[in-house]
Chains A and B, each alone.
Chain A
Amino acid sequence: MLGPVLETLIGGLMTGVLYALVALGFVLIFKASGVFNFAQGAMVLFAALSFARLSEFMPLVLAFALSVLIMIALAYAIEFLVLRRLVNQEGIILFMATLGIAYFLEGFGQSIWGSDIYKIGLGLPTNPIFILESVFPGGLLIDPVELIAASICAVMVLVLAVFFQVTRIGRALRAVADDHQAAQSVGIPLNRIWIIVWAASGLVALVAGMMWGAKLGVQFSLSLIALKALPVLILGGLTSIPGAIVGGLIIGAGEKLAEVLLAPILIRTFDLAGGGIENWFAYVLALIFLLVRPQGLFGERIIERV
């Protein structure tokens, strides 16, 4: 029994890293601008589409570099066309703006790159790896694609966390998130900070898109994985980078384990049709969490004296 459970756990954790990466995109932008960026999912799709189509007629490295440039250009465009005009507006207004960006990106991306399912061939080894064969009969099966994806994500998360926690940009970023006007008044260039975070979260979207794309193929449904990031955010807190990571791992592992352990019990006890638990478990978990600890695992508890 332990073997398969462990196998599920490892698989779940690796999916969790991917969730974390998507959630991280949200956190970056939320921290820097207080905007809940609904377009994060669309950015994942757009980035993956760009990479997939570019890689069809150029080397992977070049395709990646070009995609990075595209995402940076996108950040510039969003800042120049949308955010700059909405300085000091309410959070809800900015949220609506990202909603617009989301639908535009989905449509626009498909208009220029096409709307079929595209494959991303990263040339990764596909033969499953078995580990701990001496401990468990038959060992534990690990998908090398998932393993590599998880490693890349882990490195990415680490670099971003260090970048934003340790450097002066981190302080500027928190300042901008707290109060736009005050940040400007001490000479923090708001526009530049926004371009930086949107570019960073574009980069994160690109990596996430590549990894998911390699797993599932690049298709429209990719933009929906943003929805999976929501429970992660609720768990981890909207402002916490470690929260996004831990939240992603918990959700990833939790839903896989629920599928394997909880589902059979539910089916037996309540005589249910079974299946599909993976689809709603994360949300129920998030809902419970929301009731107990609304600020999330690592979110800042806002205490203010009036």
Chain B
Amino acid sequence: MRAPSGPDVVAGEVLLAVENVSLAFGGVKAVSGVSFDIRKGEIRAIIGPNGAGKTSLLNIINGFYHPQRGRITFKGKARSAMRPYEAALGGIARTFQNVALFKGMTAIDNIMAGRTLKMRRGFFWQLIRIGPALAEEVEQRRRVEEIIDFLKIQHVRKIQVGKLPYGLQKRVELGRALAMEPDLLLLDEPMAGMNLEEKEDMCRFILDVNAHYGTTIALIEHDMGVVMDLSDRVLVLDHGIKIADGKPAEVQADRAVIDAYLGLTH
């Protein structure tokens, strides 16, 4: 499935480097001393049993959590903490494990919200909607429509997302993240709760995003089959500690990984 990128991507330029990052809530260590990098253009999977600290890691990357220790370098700029707003401005978009959409708004408004940072005209111009402001509105709308077409959600365009079935909500959420035209896309369990067909669709969307827009993607996923098919490299966490990092096949054969997963099934 994954022919075009291959090894040269993995050897490419580092987009995001996480060095020795730790985060604790009260006494509980969510992430301890984790280091890894994400290279430009790759699909990076983060796996691990429940409570391994995967979502915490995403939250650190996009600024929801501020790690107590460690350093994060994004596009060559090091920092220990930043606000989610700044992360978005820097080109990091994400989706959430349990779908965080603006439930009262339509699908199109949700995706449009993803273009907040791309809007140039001040509110006065938007108010009167003429000239350059109108042109901008049209241009934004065109971009959004391309995403709608890409994700095949034309039929739900004007429906309040709260009323949509779960699989479609996940798609709209991906659309909102894509609307930001991110350099790094974080997907938190993009296929959770989906049936086989929806999973296949989602896999194809992820691969297409990566192939067409060259977007770097980091995703958390439980379905090992999906992870093996999609990703260039896999990071494995257990109890907040990195236990393996490498190509899918290497990771799959790793003793520590097998133990962590077998330990889970006991």
Tell which of A186-194, A204-212, A265-273 binds the partner: A186-194
B126 contacts A178, C-beta separation under 8 Å: no
CA distance A172 to B119 in the complex (A): 12
CA distance A177 to B102 in the complex (A): 8
Residues from chain B with a CB closer than 8 A to the CB of A185 are: 62, 84, 88, 93-94, 96, 100, 177
Residues from chain A with a CB closer than 8 A to the CB of B85 are: 184, 187-190
Residues from chain A with a CB closer than 8 A to the CB of B1 are: none
Residues from chain A with a CB closer than 8 A to the CB of B104 are: 174, 177-178, 300, 302
A167 contacts B127, C-beta separation under 8 Å: yes
A178 contacts B102, C-beta separation under 8 Å: yes
B119 contacts A186, C-beta separation under 8 Å: no
CB within 8 Å of B: which A91-135 residues: none
Whether B116 sits at the interface, judged by CB under 8 Å, is yes
Beyond A171-B112, A172-B113, A186-B114, whether A302 also contacts B102 by CB under 8 A is: no
Interface flags, B56-73, vs A, CB<8A=1, else 0: 000000111000000000
A186 contacts B163, C-beta separation under 8 Å: no
CA distance A177 to B101 in the complex (A): 11
B176 contacts A187, C-beta separation under 8 Å: no
Give 22 CB contacts A-B under 8 Å.
A166-B127, A167-B126, A171-B109, A175-B105, A175-B113, A177-B104, A178-B102, A178-B105, A179-B100, A179-B101, A183-B102, A184-B63, A184-B64, A184-B85, A184-B88, A186-B88, A186-B114, A186-B179, A187-B84, A188-B116, A190-B85, A305-B165
Chain B: residues with CB nearer than 8 A to chain A?
Answer: 62-64, 83-85, 88-89, 93-94, 96, 100-105, 109, 112-114, 116-117, 119, 123, 126-127, 160, 162-166, 176-177, 179-180
Chain A: residues with CB nearer than 8 A to chain B?
Answer: 162-163, 166-169, 171-172, 174-175, 177-179, 181-190, 300, 302-305
Q: List 11 extra interface pairs beyond A168-B123, A187-B85, A305-B164, CB under 8 A.
A: A166-B126, A171-B105, A174-B102, A174-B105, A178-B103, A185-B100, A185-B177, A186-B114, A188-B116, A302-B104, A305-B166
